[in-house]
Chain A
Amino acid sequence: MWRYLLPLGLFVGLVALLAVGLNLNPREVPSPFIGKPAPPFTLPRLHRPEATVSPADFRGQVWLLNVWASWCVSCRAEHPVLNALARRQEVILVGLNYKDQRNDALQWLAERGDPYTVVAVDAEGKAGIDWGVYGVPETFVVDKRGIIRLKHTGPVTRDVLRDEILPLIRKLKKEPA
Chain B
Amino acid sequence: MRRLTAGLLALWLGLGPALAAIEVHQFKTPEEEQRYKHLIAELRCLVCQNQNLADSNADLARDLREQVYEMIQNGASDQDIVDYMVNRYGDFVLYRPPFKSTTAALWIGPFVILAVGVLVVAVYVRRRRREPPVVSDEAELDRARQLLNDDEKKPS
Q: How many A-B residue pairs have CB under 8 A?
A: 34
Residue of A nearest to B63 (CB): A125
Main secondary structure of the interface of B (DSSP, over half): helix
Q: Contact string, A47-68, partner B, CB cutoff 8 A, digits 1/0? A: 0000000000000000000000
What residues on B are CB-neighbors of A29 within 8 Å?
46, 89-90, 92
- A81-89, A130-138, A163-171: which lies at the interface: A130-138
Q: How far is the CB of B8 from chain A (nearest CB, A)?
A: 35
CA A110 to CA B117, docked complex, whole Å: 63
| CA–CA, A30 and B89, complex, Å | 8
Is the CB–CB distance between A30 and B47 below 8 Å?
Answer: no
Complex Cα distance, B60 from A40, in Å, reads 20
If the complex has contacts A30-B90, A32-B89, are A129 and B46 also in contact, measured as CB distance less than 8 A? no
Task: For the complex formed, measure the closest distance between the CB of A151 and the CB atoms of chain B, giving whole angstroms.
Answer: 11
B49: chain A residues at CB < 8 Å are 26
Residues of B within 8 Å of A31, CB to CB, are 90
Chain B residues near A130: list those with CB within 8 A.
88
Quick check: B87 and A32 within 8 Å, CB to CB?
A: yes
A83–chain B nearest beta-carbon distance, Å: 27
Most chain B C-beta atoms within 10 Å of own C-beta, residue among A31, A33, A99, A129: A129
Q: Which of A32, A33, A134 has the most CB of B within 10 A?
A: A134
Query: Chain B contacts of A26 at CB under 8 A?
Result: 49
Verify B63–A129 contact, CB threshold 8 A.
Answer: yes
- B59 on interface, CB distance cutoff 8 Å: yes
The reply to whether B47 and A132 contact each other, CB–CB distance below 8 Å, is: no
Other A-B pairs beyond A32-B87, A32-B88, A125-B59, 7, CB < 8 Å: A29-B89, A30-B90, A30-B92, A33-B88, A125-B60, A125-B63, A129-B67
* Interchain residue pairs A-B with the least CB separation, the first 10: A134-B46, A132-B88, A32-B90, A29-B92, A132-B89, A125-B63, A134-B60, A30-B90, A26-B49, A134-B47
User: Which residues of A line the B interface, CB within 8 A?
Assistant: 26, 29-33, 99, 125, 129-135
Interface residues of chain B, those whose CB is within 8 Å of chain A, are 46-47, 49, 59-60, 63-64, 67, 86-90, 92
